[in-house]
């Protein structure tokens, strides 16, 4: 843990999928620290009641006034109401927003130093892909701090704000596309006679293996070449995929999700 984070009180508003994952990640990676949390659902706060480092707050305003850094993890439609409520006490604080589609310009109406982040659901298991960009007034230390916080839930990429819609399609929505592919492959295993639990676990771990190979530096084409022997099973399966335009369908999924993200702005 760096000095940057050690001496700051981090407040999280919205302890749902993403907010709770960020908190769990920070608690796992930081021995010290003080984390303030608020949510309209009191039961979401109760889950952390046993950790002395976590301070549940009765209101967003109390949390905002007592925190040095604020993480806003409510749904996009709730962002402006929360910011209206806490604006008077956050003027000189750093705001990190994970709300999809809410621009730094919109956030800057309420607070000067902002960081916008697009995480994904992998955050629940410490495997988020988080893209971040700083607003006009965010300084290097703000960006470094946000990077450190998000590293607690997975990988962090620094991107231009104009690329956030592509990130939304590729990783924000993309995790659901991979889930769909894993599910379809498991269905095929069941079709051919495997028990469902086994088929699903094997399909998911096969996807994980492919991902790890690519991350280790193997190009997808190399994995294909190393698996597909002449006249064998893999090339027959690849032919079936090619006949059904699976590559084009996967590209379309990301392109359409990106377009939809642009429409929602």
Closest contact distance (angstroms) between CB of 143 and ligand NAP is 19
Q: Which of 6, 7, 16, 225 binds ligand NAP (CB under 6 A)?
A: 16
Nearer to ligand NAP, 73 or 199 (CB): 73
Tell me if 39 contacts ligand NAP by CB under 6 A: yes
Enter the tokens of residue 128.
């988020």
Nearer to ligand NAP, 15 or 253 (CB): 15
Site for ligand NAP, residues 87 to 106, rule: CB under 6 A: 98-100
- Exposure string of 78-87, with b = 16+ CB inside 10 Å and e = fewer, is ebeebbeebe
Rounded to 5, what percent of the chain is helix, strand, coil? 55, 15, 30
Please state, in angstroms and rounded to a whole number, the distance separating the CA atoms of residues 83 and 107: 8
Closest contact distance (angstroms) between CB of 210 and ligand NAP is 22
Tell me if 78 contacts ligand NAP by CB under 6 A: yes
User: Crossing angle of helices 174-191/196-215, nearest 10°?
Assistant: 130
Enter the tokens of residue 2.
């760096």
Tell me if 13 contacts ligand NAP by CB under 6 A: yes
Tell me if 69 contacts ligand NAP by CB under 6 A: no
Q: Which of 40, 214, 226, 241 binds ligand NAP (CB under 6 A)?
A: 40
Facing residues of 134 across strands? 115
Question: By CB under 6 A, which span of 17-25, 27-35, 195-203, 248-256 interacts with ligand NAP?
Answer: 17-25
Nearer to ligand NAP, 109 or 224 (CB): 109
For 88-178, list the strands marked E by DSSP: 94-97, 113-118, 128-134, 154-158
Tell me if 86 contacts ligand NAP by CB under 6 A: no
Tell me if 74 contacts ligand NAP by CB under 6 A: yes
Closest contact distance (angstroms) between CB of 166 and ligand NAP is 14
**131 — phi, psi (to 5°)?**
-105, 135
Q: What angle do CA 73, 168, 142 make, to 5 degrees?
A: 50
Residues contacting 15, CB < 8 A, separation 6+: 23, 37, 38, 39, 41, 44, 45, 47, 48, 73
Do 103 and 109 touch, CB atoms closer than 8 A? no
The site string for ligand NAP over 115-144 (x = CB under 6 A, - otherwise) reads: ---xxxx-----------------------
Please state, in angstroms and rounded to a whole number, the distance separating the CA atoms of residues 255 and 265: 16
Residues contacting 207, CB < 8 A, separation 6+: 178, 181, 182
Tell me if 258 contacts ligand NAP by CB under 6 A: no
Q: Which of 27, 61, 68, 76 binds ligand NAP (CB under 6 A)?
A: 76
Closest contact distance (angstroms) between CB of 173 and ligand NAP is 9
Closest contact distance (angstroms) between CB of 101 and ligand NAP is 7
What is the binding site for ligand NAP (CB under 6 A)? 13-19, 38-41, 44, 60, 73-76, 78, 81-82, 98-100, 118-121, 172
């Amino acid at each position: 843990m760096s000095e940057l984070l050690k001496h700051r009180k981090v407040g999280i508003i919205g302890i749902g999928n993403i907010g709770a994952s960020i908190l769990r990640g920070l608690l796992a990676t930081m021995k010290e620290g003080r984390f303030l949390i608020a949510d309209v659902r009191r039961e979401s706060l109760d889950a952390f009641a046993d950790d002395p480092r976590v301070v549940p707050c009765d209101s967003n305003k109390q949390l905002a006034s007592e925190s040095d850094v604020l993480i806003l993890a409510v749904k996009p439609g709730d962002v402006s109401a929360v910011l209206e409520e806490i604006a008077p006490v956050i003027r000189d604080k750093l705001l990190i927003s994970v709300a999809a589609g809410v621009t730094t310009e919109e956030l800057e109406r309420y607070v000067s130093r902002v960081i916008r982040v697009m995480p994904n659901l992998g955050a629940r298991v410490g495997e988020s892909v988080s893209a971040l960009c700083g607003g006009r007034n965010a300084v290097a230390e703000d960006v470094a701090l946000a990077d450190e916080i998000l590293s607690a839930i997975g990988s962090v990429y620094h991107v231009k704000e104009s690329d956030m819609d592509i990130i939304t399609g590729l990783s924000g929505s993309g995790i659901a596309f991979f889930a769909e592919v894993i599910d379809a492959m498991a269905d095929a295993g069941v079709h051919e006679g495997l028990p469902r639990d086994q088929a699903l676990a094997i399909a998911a771990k096969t996807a994980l293996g492919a991902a790890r190979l690519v991350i280790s530096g193997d190009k997808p084409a190399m994995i294909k070449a190393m698996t597909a022997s002449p006249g064998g099973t893999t090339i027959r399966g690849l032919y079936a995929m090619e006949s059904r335009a699976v590559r084009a369908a996967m590209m379309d999924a990301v392109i359409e999700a990106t377009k939809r993200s642009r429409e929602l702005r």
